Amino acid sequence: MTHTPDVNWADVVDDLDRGDTVSRPMDEQIVGWLAPPPGARVADLGSGAGGMTVLLAGAVGAEGSVVAVDGEPALLEATMARSERAGFADRIETLLYDLAAGTPPLVDLDLVWAAHVVHHLPDQQSAVTGLVRMIAGGGRLALAEGGLPQRCLPWDVGVGEPGLEDRLASAEADWFAGMRRDQHGARRIPYGWPSVIAAAGLNDVMSKSFLLDLPAPLDVEVRTHITESFAVRVDRVGERLNGDDRGPWDRLLEPDGADYLGRRDDLHVLGATTVHVGTRQSR
């Protein structure tokens, strides 16, 4: 992740860790598809709490290595704690680096993995072109970008007007468009991620989508993560949220209230992540 001074990451590490647990079934599918070979050198850009870092470390084996790159010290500490619990501390190292500052000082990598990171950077095409310089001949760049937004609620939750989650997603899309408009140095890319990767000079570009499907009823840990994620999302969109929806969301996110989401047995998780991969020509 890029450095975000208005977020106290130490306060949200636990929820990010829960998020890694929630997405693990899908992440395991992704790592299986990427299949980095034993002994490979890998970078995980925007590593967060380290869920994918550890899965990649397991795939490359004892002779391989993974560098977790993130701009937040608290998240790198969480990554190392997770790697120690998994028994992979000897094959994982961390690099404190804000991706908004440019390309990390890493070279000759067999795989560069970046999940939901590049779309936050001002000049996305330039950023991807820079990432290519990190890759060895025959190595690959894999970007997780796009897919289908997660859905977790019934269409009618009994509070406010039906379609509450859909309207939140619409407000988030409006928030992101505004963030891009106001971002210093932002450049539009009016084409898809496979075209971005190809324009950066990579070959054999392909994409594959992976489903995360956790039907109701969910266990307490997953329900807690979903509820806290909704709280973050509602707070982030602010005034972009439909005014008539603010009260219902307050009721749904109040732990002591009768309508608290965290106690519902009909929460679920359904979404898809698309991974785009390109290969650097061998020198």
- Give 215-271 pLDDT, tens digit per residue: 999 999 999 999 999 999 999 999 999 999 999 999 999 999 999 999 999 999 999
Asked if 260 and 159 touch (Cβ cutoff 8 Å), the reply is no
pTM for the model:
0.93
- Give 172-195 pLDDT, tens digit per residue: 999 999 999 999 999 999 999 999
Q: What is the pLDDT of residue 40?
A: 98
Asked if 100 and 121 touch (Cβ cutoff 8 Å), the reply is yes
| Domains of the chain: residue spans and CATH | 9-279 (3.40.50.150)
Asked if 231 and 254 touch (Cβ cutoff 8 Å), the reply is no
Q: What is the pLDDT of residue 283?
A: 67
Average pLDDT for residues 28-50, to the nearest whole number?
Answer: 97
Tokens of 214: 């956790």
Tokens of 12: 């949200």
| pLDDT of 206 over the 70 cut | yes
- Give 129-168 pLDDT, tens digit per residue: 999 999 999 999 999 999 999 999 999 999 999 999 999 9
Task: Measure the CA–CA gap between 39 and 57, rounded to whole angstroms.
Answer: 10
Q: What is the pLDDT of residue 76?
A: 96
Task: Measure the CA–CA gap between 235 and 251, rounded to whole angstroms.
Answer: 14
Task: Measure the CA–CA gap between 137 and 221, rounded to whole angstroms.
Answer: 42
| pLDDT of 3 over the 50 cut | no
Residue 49 host element (H or E): none
Question: Strands 41-45 and 65-70, how do they pair?
Answer: parallel
- Give 76-135 pLDDT, tens digit per residue: 999 999 999 999 999 999 999 999 999 999 999 999 999 999 999 999 999 999 999 999
Dihedral Cα 188, 190, 191, 196, nearest 10 deg? -20
